[in-house]
């Protein structure tokens, strides 16, 4: 018995054990799940949820549950190493650690499909030899024509080995593909979430399992790998559901037992559209239209994009994320960094200053409920409560407002040390002025904002005035300085505060500040002019802490400047 055969045997052996016990004693049966992203972009929040559920399902079985990470890079054109690295880093940030896979290694030691070509080819040859797979010689153009013809006649196009009009011999310049001879029989999937579903034999088609470039397709690689890696439970997005019938056919042809499958509902946008990176392009286009920009020459020059590219982008010929990213800073409220693109990928949320635990908690609740009236659920509790029973069958909308609330909850409950730690991670991927501040100053600011921020990005933005000259909001200046006795209050405040003796500390300025706040008919009427003078805005943390951190000189200079306005 060679190593792969023995592994295969081991799989069957282990699988049989779980097979009998599923539903009876799940805690003691072996569970092995995997997350298998294709490295063609960043890790999407939907993907993060799939990973989380798979992770939870495996980790629940603390004794013998295993969670595997596998990179499905069979698409040579779109896969990139950077993307794979990004996905790994996002998973790590979320705390979803894996037992086998890239970096950590494992039994198979090859967790990139592109490294496993020999294995796929071996089984491909086996299927070919048994007549369970065959070469097909159509060109892409021929296939397209066949499809169009079928559509014209209003019938479904299915490639089958006995269909009329097949290209029966190899053609010059066309490399053949290998197709799987899908059996003509009904196939039933016992889905862990959707239940028993049967697809009639006549509905199947002979899918491509090896592309003309020699790489296996997803369908083939996934079956081979899930088998060799001894995966017992496959949890994946519902978009894969119809594939499962083909995969079952493949398992049978290879003489293997299929794992259990569970298909997760999709995570969609508020308008029911699939949540995708396209959102970013959409947001940018909408903003350009809103601004009424018809001539793109200027915008193209400023963004560094070609005019043709920009025109194509606007004509929806491309949804390139890179374009959207280049254009966003030039649009919307330019003074505060331009148009904010919608967060779609995990790293977007990271840059916006969401806490990984909050994102995880939130994403867990889209499509699953722990039962009872629980909302805030820690990872540990998630592990205790998670069950496939609570998973919804309908697509779940991604409600950013609720995520924002939840992030705020986590921030308020976090210890200052945790917050500092999270800020450090946040600073590593962003460039706000707080990044360069001393740790003690960061601590002060975090304390001030803990109860009033929703994201770290919001805090970092609002706290800018501690580090740089504030940009004065004209409306606030008019309302609180020019009008409503603003100057009078400011003058008194200046007089009182400049008389503060000793060090400029909270203790020393508390009483004078109280004196200022007592000015005017309503207590605190004098607060707003000061706020605007020091921050340019009518909203800041409480004045005492704010002034203390700002320092004597900055406070007084800014007040003088405001008085001169």
- Distance separating alpha carbons of residues 347 and 429, to the nearest angstrom: 9
Any residues with CB less than 8 A from the CB of 121 and at least 6 apart, and which?
none
Q: Which is nearer to RNA, 159 or 251 (CB)?
A: 159
Stretch 16-45 residues interacting with RNA (CB under 7 A): 36-38, 40
Identify the active-site residue in 246, 277, 280, 282: 277
What are the CB-based long-range contacts (under 8 Å, 24+) for 289-295?
291/331
- Distance separating alpha carbons of residues 493 and 498, to the nearest angstrom: 8
- Distance separating alpha carbons of residues 449 and 440, to the nearest angstrom: 14
DSSP for residue 483? S
Structure tokens at 175: 């490399």
Stretch 367-386 residues interacting with RNA (CB under 7 A): 367-369, 371-373, 375
Applying CB under 7 A, does 308 fall inside the site for RNA? Answer: no
Q: Which stretch binds RNA (CB under 7 A): 10-18, 327-335, 516-524, 548-556?
A: 516-524
The distance of closest approach from Cβ of residue 520 to RNA in the complex, given in angstroms and rounded to an integer, is 10
Is 280 catalytic? The answer is: no
Q: Which is nearer to RNA, 266 or 330 (CB)?
A: 266
- Distance separating alpha carbons of residues 396 and 377, to the nearest angstrom: 18
Stretch 157-176 residues interacting with RNA (CB under 7 A): 157-159, 174-175
Q: Which is nearer to RNA, 153 or 417 (CB)?
A: 153
Q: Which stretch binds RNA (CB under 7 A): 1-9, 202-210, 331-339, 498-506?
A: 202-210
The distance of closest approach from Cβ of residue 136 to RNA in the complex, given in angstroms and rounded to an integer, is 8
| C-beta of residue 279 within 8 angstroms of C-beta of residue 269 | yes
Any residues with CB less than 8 A from the CB of 212 and at least 6 apart, and which?
174, 175, 176, 177
The distance of closest approach from Cβ of residue 472 to RNA in the complex, given in angstroms and rounded to an integer, is 16
Give Cα separations from 282 to 324, 347, 400 (angstroms).
9, 19, 17
Q: What is the 3-state secondary structure (H, E, C) of 397-413?
A: ECCHHHHHHHHHHHHHH
Binds RNA by CB under 7 A, chosen from 95, 255, 474, 524: 524
Q: Which stretch binds RNA (CB under 7 A): 48-56, 103-111, 200-208, 251-259?
A: 200-208
Q: How many residues does the chain have?
A: 565
What is the DSSP pairing of strand 133-136 with strand 31-35? Answer: unpaired
The distance of closest approach from Cβ of residue 480 to RNA in the complex, given in angstroms and rounded to an integer, is 9
Q: Which is nearer to RNA, 211 or 561 (CB)?
A: 211
Binds RNA by CB under 7 A, chosen from 5, 172, 401, 507: 401
The distance of closest approach from Cβ of residue 232 to RNA in the complex, given in angstroms and rounded to an integer, is 20
The distance of closest approach from Cβ of residue 44 to RNA in the complex, given in angstroms and rounded to an integer, is 11
Q: Which stretch binds RNA (CB under 7 A): 97-105, 286-294, 312-320, 535-543?
A: 535-543
| C-beta of residue 349 within 8 angstroms of C-beta of residue 45 | yes
Residues taking part in catalysis? 277
């Amino acid at each position: 018995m060679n190593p792969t055969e023995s592994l295969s045997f081991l799989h069957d052996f282990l699988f049989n054990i779980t097979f009998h016990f599923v539903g009876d004693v799940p805690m003691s049966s072996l569970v092995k799940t995997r997350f298998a992203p294709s490295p063609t972009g960043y890790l999407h929040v939907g993907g993060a949820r799939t990973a989380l559920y798979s992770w939870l399902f495996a980790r629940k079985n603390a004794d013998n549950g295993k969670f595997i990470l596998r990179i499905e890079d069979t698409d040579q054109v779109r896969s990139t190493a950077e993307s794979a690295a990004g996905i790994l880093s996002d998973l790590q940030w979320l705390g979803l650690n894996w037992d086998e896979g890239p970096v950590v290694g494992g039994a198979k030691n090859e967790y990139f499909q592109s490294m496993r070509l020999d294995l796929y080819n071996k089984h491909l040859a086996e299927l070919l030899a048994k007549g369970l797979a065959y070469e097909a010689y159509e060109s892409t153009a021929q296939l397209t024509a066949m499809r169009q013809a079928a559509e014209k006649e209003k019938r479904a196009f299915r490639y089958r080995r006995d269909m009329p009009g097949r290209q029966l011999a190899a053609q010059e310049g066309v490399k053949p593909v290998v197709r799987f001879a899908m059996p003509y029989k009904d196939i039933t999937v016992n889905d862990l979430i959707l239940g028993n579903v049967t697809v009639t034999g006549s509905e199947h088609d002979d899918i491509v399992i090896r592309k003309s470039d020699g790489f296996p397709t997803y369908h083939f690689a996934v079956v081979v790998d899930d088998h060799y890696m001894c995966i017992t439970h496959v949890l994946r997005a519902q978009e894969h559901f119809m594939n499962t019938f083909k995969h079952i056919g493949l398992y049978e042809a290879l003489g293997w037992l299929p794992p259990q499958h569970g298909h997760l509902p999709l995570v969609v946008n508020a308008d029911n559209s699939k949540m995708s990176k396209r959102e970013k392009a959409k947001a940018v286009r909408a903003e350009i239209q809103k601004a009424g920009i018809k001539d793109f020459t200027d915008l193209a020059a400023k963004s560094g994009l070609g005019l043709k590219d920009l025109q194509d982008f606007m004509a929806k010929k491309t949804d390139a994320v890179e374009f959207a990213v280049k254009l966003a800073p030039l649009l919307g409220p330019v003074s505060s960094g331009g148009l904010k693109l919608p967060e779609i990928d995990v790293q977007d949320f990271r840059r916006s200053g969401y806490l990984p635990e909050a994102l995880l908690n939130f994403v867990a609740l889209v499509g699953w409920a722990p039962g009872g009236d629980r909302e805030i659920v820690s990872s540990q509790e998630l592990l205790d409560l998670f069950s496939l029973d609570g998973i919804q069958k309908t697509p779940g909308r991604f409600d950013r407002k609720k995520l924002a609330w939840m992030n705020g909850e986590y921030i308020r409950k976090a210890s200052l040390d945790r917050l500092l730690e999270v800020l450090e991670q946040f600073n590593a991927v962003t460039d706000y002025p707080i990044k360069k501040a001393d740790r003690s100053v960061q601590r002060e600011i975090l304390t001030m904002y803990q109860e009033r921020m929703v994201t770290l990005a919001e805090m970092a933005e609002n706290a800018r005035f501690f580090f740089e000259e504030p940009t004065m909001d004209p409306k606030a200046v008019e309302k609180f300085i020019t009008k409503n006795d603003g100057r009078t209050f400011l003058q008194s405040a200046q007089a009182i505060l400049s008389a503060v003796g000793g060090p400029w500390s909270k203790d020393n300025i508390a009483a004078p500040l109280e004196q200022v706040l007592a000015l005017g008919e309503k207590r605190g009427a004098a607060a707003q002019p000061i706020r605007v003078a020091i921050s340019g805005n009518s909203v800041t943390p409480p004045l005492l802490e704010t002034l203390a951190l700002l320092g004597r000189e900055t406070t007084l200079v800014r007040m003088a400047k405001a008085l001169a306005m």
